């Protein structure tokens, strides 16, 4: 059966499916592991032989991708009433977030492919400033969607657009949001995706009508995925972007030794926004996150850069996060 972007599926007898969002920083780029030519995340039904949800997701990931897994956490659970099994029961959808250091990524031993997550969410890449597509294409289409509603709904939609996308509000709304700082909030990935879905501006939405959109809209809106898998990735990105602000989650994606430039580039890849070099290093120093190894990197041009590792306290925190990521000797 050919899968559609809006919930068509191969019906089975189970009622629970598990899906994994595996994230890695590969050559300074945040990537997600996909199957089926980038249209699906590793997934499968929960079987009676699985002693837990996590055991189920680990089995399906290893079977479909041959990617060994370390740290994982449950991400998102919902009942998808648009997808039903052969008995007519709605599916419970359980997703997990996993972190993979680059040295552990497998790229050629399976049909799985590591994809740049900005392929799916091009509007989230602010490393070189806000993408032009937000102001020139996405926001105008969202405002047109807002204007098609009744007066009260239209006003609320326009307020949401301003707040979610960090854009200047129309004059009629300035009094309503004058006490709210309107700026781009990196971790609002899921809110932005949900708004595009609600407005029928992405192929996964049942209201999507490409014939009523600009001819280049497919390039603007990113690569679609089957089922709700792009929504699950949006949830994972939101979770990571929020957690790196208060928890050293980045440790699970870095090699055992790294330069400060590599660490900053990895954090920028996750957040999608550039960081001030000196402020970033002052923050590392004030929080005692890293310590020098006494060695220098020889893998780059110019003057060798000092190598660092995470402090012992950070590694202890990784134990509390149930990390099983293998360490390089």
Tell me the average pLDDT across 234-261.
Answer: 88
Task: State the average pLDDT over residues 177-183.
Answer: 60
Q: What is the pTM of this model?
A: 0.86
Specify the pairing of strand 16-26 against strand 90-99: parallel
Domains of the chain: 16-120 (3.90.79.10), 124-220 (no CATH), 250-320 (1.10.10.10)
Angle between helices 260-271 and 229-243 (to 10 degrees): 130
Residue 73's pLDDT band, with cuts at 50, 70 and 90, is confident
Residue-level pLDDT at 305: 87
Closest CA to 45 of 83, 3, 111, 93: 93
- In the chain, what percentage of residues exceed pLDDT 70? 81
Span of 87-91, 176-180, 311-315, 316-320 with lowest mean pLDDT: 316-320
State the chain's mean pLDDT as an integer.
82
Give the pLDDT of residue 56: 73
Catalogue the E-assigned strands of the chain: 16-26, 29-34, 43-45, 72-84, 90-99, 113-116, 290-296, 306-310
Per the DSSP assignment, residues forming a β-bridge with 93 are 17, 78
């Amino acid at each position: 059966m050919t899968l559609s972007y809006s919930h068509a599926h191969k019906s089975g007898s189970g009622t629970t499916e598990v899906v994994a969002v595996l994230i890695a920083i590969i050559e300074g780029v945040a990537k997600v592991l996909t199957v089926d030519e980038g249209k699906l995340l590793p997934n499968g039904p929960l079987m009676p032989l699985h002693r837990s949800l996590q055991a189920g997701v680990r089995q399906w990931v290893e079977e479909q991708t041959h990617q060994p897994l370390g740290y994982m956490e449950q991400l998102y659970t919902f009942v998808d009433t648009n997808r039903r099994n052969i008995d007519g029961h709605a599916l419970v959808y359980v997703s997990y977030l996993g972190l993979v250091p680059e040295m552990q990524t497998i790229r050629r031993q399976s049909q799985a492919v590591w994809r740049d997550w900005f392929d799916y969410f091009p509007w989230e890449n602010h490393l070189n400033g806000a993408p032009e597509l937000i102001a020139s294409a996405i926001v105008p289409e969202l405002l047109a969607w807002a204007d098609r509603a009744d007066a009260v709904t239209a006003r609320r939609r326009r307020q949401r657009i301003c707040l979610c996308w960090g854009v200047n509000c129309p004059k009629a709304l300035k009094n309503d949001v004058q006490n709210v700082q309107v700026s781009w909030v990196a971790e609002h990935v899921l809110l932005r995706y949900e708004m595009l879905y609600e407005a029928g501006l992405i192929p996964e939405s049942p209201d999507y009508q490409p014939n009523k959109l600009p001819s280049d809209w497919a390039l603007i809106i990113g690569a679609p995925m089957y089922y709700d898998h792009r929504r699950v990735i949006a949830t994972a990105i939101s979770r990571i972007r929020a957690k790196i602000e208060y928890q050293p989650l980045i440790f699970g994606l870095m090699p055992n030794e790294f330069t400060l430039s590599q660490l900053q580039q990895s954090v920028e890849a996750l957040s999608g926004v550039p960081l001030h070099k000196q402020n970033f290093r002052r923050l590392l120093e004030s929080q005692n996150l890293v310590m020098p190894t006494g060695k220098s990197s020889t893998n780059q041009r110019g003057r060798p850069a000092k190598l660092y590792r995470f402090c012992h306290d950070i590694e202890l925190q990784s134990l509390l996060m149930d990390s099983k990521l293998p360490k390089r000797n």
